[in-house]
């Protein structure tokens, strides 16, 4: 075995050459372009299902219908661009969550990542019977061992367990599954949470005779970070921020440029209409909103269970869609805490090459550290 190479990632019958999942990024930041490019490099590429209709000004059909049509199109498009593994990220807070899930399963997405809410009931469309026939795996996104345990307990009643867990820590971009005060609390670091989730899944793995890979997400930026989390016992990592500044990322160049221009300290925590805090790059739009300004809008359709469109100061779907199109004055950019580290826009292949190199270098360092410790011990 070549230890300088990253191990593969297995989730059920899926086998990714590299243990790297590209985190789903809505609205329209990770579509078929980015997802296919990541899958072609041996990772798992993920299309974000949220709000696709917002990007289609000339749509002929309702928002709900357009979302489904566009999601189907994007999955099919990705399939023409890659033979690799393609997943779909679906937020449970969406009012069309079930319809998006059904479309993903019907289109044969390899895996669905279920975030922004806890899938306590096994989604009707992902029962063990259905999963045996179809090919779609299911991985909930959680931010605590407690949440993982609640899901495992409730799925156990249906005699099944999730195929994997993504554990998202406080440094992630987009919506965060934490209270604002927990974000800087040392009890809530990704390292701690991920270790707790690994312990939580163990008895279920034994009972079900099935591996439940745990994936770490949030603030993982380099090959060295990947090594660190693999050494903590995860099977893979999910990364989003590092993939924004690629040519293949599906956002407008101005969106990507906002990352390149960001300095350390330029990310802020916002209270989103989704009902969760979120991390974004500060800009005039967000400053206006936090100073109490209202950004008038007509609710196109009630996309979120949690949004009170009569009182919310702005429409988050519209703001994110505007940002995706490069209209940053009328929106804002979600970003992870590491957004400031991007120096230029590169290809997805260049990101993967760099990650592999960084990983190999870190392995070299950590094995020489091990040698030193061993020599010291043998001297003693």
Ligand X SMILES: Cc1cc2nc3c(=O)[nH]c(=O)nc-3n(C[C@H](O)[C@H](O)[C@H](O)COP(=O)(O)O)c2cc1C
Is the CB of residue 28 less than 8 Å from the CB of residue 52? Answer: yes
Question: What phi, psi does 243 have (nearest 5°)?
Answer: -85, -10
Q: Closest CB to ligand X among 91 and 125?
A: 91
CA pair distance 75, 68, nearest whole angstrom = 11
Q: What is the smallest separation between the CB atom of 322 and ligand X, expressed in angstroms?
A: 13
Q: What is the smallest separation between the CB atom of 25 and ligand X, expressed in angstroms?
A: 3
Residues that bind ligand X (CB under 6 A): 23-26, 29, 48, 50, 89, 91, 115-116, 141, 168, 171-174, 217-220, 238-241, 334-336, 338
Q: What is the smallest separation between the CB atom of 65 and ligand X, expressed in angstroms?
A: 20
Is the CB of residue 21 less than 8 Å from the CB of residue 10? Answer: no
Q: Closest CB to ligand X among 197 and 240?
A: 240
CA pair distance 30, 25, nearest whole angstrom = 5
On the 0-12 / 13-18 / 19+ scale of CB atoms within 10 A, 49 is buried
Q: What is the smallest separation between the CB atom of 201 and ligand X, expressed in angstroms?
A: 19
Q: Closest CB to ligand X among 98 and 205?
A: 98
Q: What is the smallest separation between the CB atom of 371 and ligand X, expressed in angstroms?
A: 32
Q: Closest CB to ligand X among 6 and 217?
A: 217
Q: Closest CB to ligand X among 213 and 219?
A: 219
What residues does 45 pair with on adjacent strands?
86
Q: Report which secondary-structure segment, H or E, holds 237.
A: strand 236-239
CA pair distance 165, 177, nearest whole angstrom = 14
- For CA atoms 35, 331, 316, 278, the dihedral sign is positive
């Amino acid at each position: 075995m070549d230890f300088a190479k990253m191990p593969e990632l297995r989730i059920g019958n899926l086998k990714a050459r590299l243990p790297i999942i590209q985190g789903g990024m809505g609205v329209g930041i990770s579509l078929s372009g980015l997802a296919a490019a990541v899958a072609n490099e041996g990772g798992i590429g993920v299309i974000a299902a949220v709000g696709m209709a917002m990007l289609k000004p000339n749509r002929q059909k309702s928002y709900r219908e357009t979302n489904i049509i566009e999601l189907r199109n994007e999955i099919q498009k990705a399939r023409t661009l890659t033979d690799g593994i393609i997943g779909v990220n679906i937020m449970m807070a969406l009012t069309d969550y079930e319809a998006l899930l059904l479309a993903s399963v019907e289109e044969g997405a390899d895996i669905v990542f279920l975030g922004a809410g806890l899938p306590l009931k096994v989604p009707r469309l992902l029962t063990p019977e259905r999963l045996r026939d179809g090919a779609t795996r299911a991985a909930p996104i959680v931010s605590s061992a407690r949440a993982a345990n609640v899901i495992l307990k409730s799925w156990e009643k249906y005699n099944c367990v999730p195929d994997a867990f993504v554990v998202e820590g406080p440094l992630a971009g987009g919506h965060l599954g934490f209270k604002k005060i927990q974000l800087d609390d040392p009890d809530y670091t990704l390292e701690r949470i991920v270790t707790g989730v690994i312990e939580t899944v163990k008895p279920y793995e034994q009972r079900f005779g099935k591996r439940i890979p745990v994936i770490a997400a949030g603030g993982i930026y380099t090959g060295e970070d990947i090594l660190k989390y693999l050494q903590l016992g995860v099977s893979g990592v999910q990364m989003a921020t590092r993939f924004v500044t690629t040519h293949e990322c599906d956002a407008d160049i101005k969106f990507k440029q906002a990352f390149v221009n960001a300095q350390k300290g330029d990310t802020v925590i916002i209270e989103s209409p989704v009902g969760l805090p979120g991390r974004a790059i500060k800009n005039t739009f967000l400053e206006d909103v936090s100073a109490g300004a209202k950004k008038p809008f007509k609710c196109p359709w009630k996309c979120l269970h949690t949004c009170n469109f009569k009182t919310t100061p702005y429409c988050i779907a519209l703001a994110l869609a505007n940002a995706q199109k490069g209209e940053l004055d009328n929106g804002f950019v979600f970003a992870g805490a590491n957004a400031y580290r991007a120096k230029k826009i590169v290809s997805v292949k260049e990101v993967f090459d760099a990650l592999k190199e960084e990983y190999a270098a870190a392995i070299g360092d950590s094995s020489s550290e091990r040698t030193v410790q061993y020599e010291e011990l043998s001297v003693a």
